[in-house]
Amino acid sequence: MTYKPQILLPSTEQDFEAFCAHVYGEIYKCNTPAMYGRRGQKQYGLDVLVYKDNLNKSSNRIGIQCKHVSKLLFDGNDKVTIVKEIAKADSGQQEISQLIIATSLPSDQKLTDAVNALSDERVNEGKFPVEIQFWNDIENYIANSSVLNQRYHSNSNYSEKIEQAKERFNKEQYAAVIDSLTVDDIKLMNHVEKYEAYYLLANCYHLIEQNDKFTYYASKLTQFEWYDERHNVLNIIDNIINSDTDNALKIIKTCIDKEPDNTQYQALKYSIEMNQGSITDFENLPEAVQNTYSIKYNYMRYYSNHNQFDKYDVIAKLIDKHERLKPSFIILSLESSLLRYATSKSQHHYIEALKFLLYYSRTLQQR
């Protein structure tokens, strides 16, 4: 009889890895399973590291090799075989207590027997044991875990929830993002989704100036030990909030040295320097940095506050149709019109301010 999966298989390798991190993290009571290395880096036969009972020591460290494949051989000339993957793990720097090869394939008795025989040989030689677990084995784990069962047998699409939260965030609907990412939902998310949720929540609380909650969610990201761009950005923001701009600039310099084309790090650098009174003229910024909304907004605010409305107007023309719908742009436009009116007493600028006020009111009503 052909085996029929009870749970929808992840569609990509990356999704399968995130899925395995969630499942095995829950099974082994590890709060922060680590995705081992980025794509393109040497992973030495490991995709995920799980720390049993949340203890990161060699006796509790379990390596997971995720195989989202249509076939998998024990040995032979194929590029990917069980024997070759084990050899990669043997050559790696991570000291693990066990290697699990998790595959999206249904159970295969011959493959299981071959892997178990090799594992016995390895244990006799003092090496870590190896186990292969198939899709139906993983489904059994899910069936026996209340958290996993609730997550993978529910109709909720948590990836979609994250995407919807991102859309709201881009529209500056920060309260709506916070309301949509509930504690109960986050509990059922896989670890990639949790990371995204914590990042969104940290940013929302930063932008509405609730710094205690920003710190709480930023620290949640640190627990993952992934140290990617999002973690670095929140670390920089945390230093700025705590008035340690010198350290923030040091972190930015280190990040730019590693990723010189990263516009987010560059935008943060120019924004800090602007607040310190050392402003680089907008036209002298790299084009990619000029195109970021945060830079356009910060420079427009600076030029408006310093009555440099000609420079303000140059940047305002670069604001695209989606950015014009952001409340921050609408409010800034209103402030600028009022400042111009206060400076020149021009009826034109007074009318422009009223137009922006009316537009903002209508925009709020549509949200």
Choosing among 3.40.1350, 1.10.3430, 3.40.50, 2.40.50, the CATH entry for 13-152 is 3.40.1350
Q: What is the pLDDT of residues 263-305, one digit of tens each?
A: 999 999 999 999 888 899 999 999 999 999 999 999 999 999 8
**What is the rounded average pLDDT of the residues 90-113?**
92
Q: What is the pLDDT of residues 124-146, one digit of tens each?
A: 999 999 999 999 999 999 999 98
**What is the rounded average pLDDT of the residues 23-31?**
92
CA contacts within 13 A on the Cβ side of 17: 18
Which of the residue ranges 28-37, 58-67, 141-150, 353-362 would you say has the lowest mean pLDDT?
353-362
pLDDT of residue 255: 95
pLDDT band at 154 (very low <50, low <70, confident <90, very high): confident
Q: What is the pLDDT of residues 311-352, one digit of tens each?
A: 999 999 999 999 998 989 988 888 888 788 777 666 666 666
Q: What is the pLDDT of residues 39-80, one digit of tens each?
A: 444 445 689 999 999 888 889 999 999 999 999 999 887 778
The identity of residue 318, as a single letter, is L
CB within 8 Å of 297: residues ≥ 6 apart: 328, 329, 332
Q: What is the pLDDT of residues 219-257, one digit of tens each?
A: 998 877 777 899 999 999 999 999 999 999 999 999 999
pLDDT of residue 217: 95
Q: Where are the alpha helices (DSSP H) in the chain?
A: 13-27, 82-91, 109-124, 135-143, 146-152, 158-170, 174-180, 183-188, 191-207, 211-222, 229-241, 245-258, 263-275, 287-290, 293-305, 309-316, 327-344, 347-365
- Encoded tokens for 154: 């529910």
